[in-house]
């Protein structure tokens, strides 16, 4: 498989073991899902500030486990690869029309791995945790009979909105989210309710009330 331009630009900074789960994201989103309103770089803008802006705005869920996305510029200004990362953003200009959502997500996770010096194993685990949360969000929105909690519903909707996927539960078949060996015993709460999230206490309460049905992502996803 020939990598799209944004990933080609990131590839020298990542190992083949990093690139494998990034490419696999193509199978995780519904076919044809597009990302709208990709940001344009304004001439004269500070490249580091632009990188952080794009990284924050294009995150794949509301509160992903890589904490660096919400830090200020000083947290990553020592990274020696800033210019390459910014160039990879410009690589989206080579895409015809709106870019595929999987490619935006792959760029995001790949950039996170470079800046945070994340090992391939940890990257794969982090993406696997996100994918389980993504599928749980789709199932939750498809299942009003689950006695949906308003706070949990809002948090799942926030996660899907970040992936331009809020309409996906209405667009895919009811079996879409449980294909490929979905593990009902590892139900994932929304990202905001995970141990690193802003509503972690609520997440703990939900788990305490439903210990057999709910899991959190492993701490090694941080």
Which tokens in the block code for residue 166? 């809020």
Reading the chain (222 residues) residue by residue, the pLDDT tens digits are 689 999 999 999 999 999 999 999 999 999 999 988 778 777 777 888 889 889 899 999 999 987 777 777 887 888 899 999 999 998 998 767 889 999 999 999 999 999 989 999 999 999 999 999 999 999 999 987 777 899 999 999 999 999 999 999 999 999 999 998 888 888 999 999 999 999 999 999 999 987 655 665 654 443
Four-point Cα dihedral 60, 66, 70, 72, nearest 10: -130
pLDDT score for 215:
60
**CA quadruple 64, 35, 29, 83: dihedral sign:** negative
The encoded tokens of residue 202 equal 């609520």
pLDDT for 211 = 62
Q: Where are the domains of the chain?
A: 1-222
Query: What is residue 219's predicted lDDT score, i.e. its pLDDT?
Result: 40
* Tokens 């696999």, residue located: 24
For the four alpha carbons of 161, 163, 169 and 170, in that order, the dihedral sign comes to positive
pTM of the model: 0.90
């Amino acid at each position: 498989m020939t990598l799209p331009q944004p990933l080609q630009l990131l590839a020298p900074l990542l190992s083949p073991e990093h690139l494998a789960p990034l490419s696999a994201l193509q199978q995780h989103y519904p076919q044809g899902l597009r990302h709208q309103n990709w940001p344009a770089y304004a001439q004269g803008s500070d490249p580091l500030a632009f990188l952080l802006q794009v990284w924050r705005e294009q995150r794949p869920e509301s509160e992903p486990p890589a904490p660096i996305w919400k830090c200020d510029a000083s947290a990553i200004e020592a990274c020696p690869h800033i210019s390459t990362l910014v160039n990879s953003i410009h690589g989206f200009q080579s895409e015809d029309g709106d870019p595929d959502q999987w490619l935006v997500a792959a760029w995001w996770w790949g950039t996170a791995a470079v800046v945070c010096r994340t090992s391939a194993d940890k990257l794969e685990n982090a993406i696997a945790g996100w994918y389980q949360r993504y599928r749980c969000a789709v199932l939750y929105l498809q299942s009003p009979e689950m006695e949906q909690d308003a706070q949990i519903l809002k948090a799942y909707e926030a996660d899907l909105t970040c992936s331009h996927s809020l309409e996906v539960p209405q667009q895919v078949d009811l079996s879409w989210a449980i294909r490929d060996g979905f593990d009902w015993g590892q139900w994932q709460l929304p990202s905001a309710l995970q141990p690193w999230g802003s509503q972690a206490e609520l997440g703990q309460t939900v788990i305490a009330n439903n210990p057999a049905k709910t899991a959190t992502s492993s701490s090694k996803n941080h």
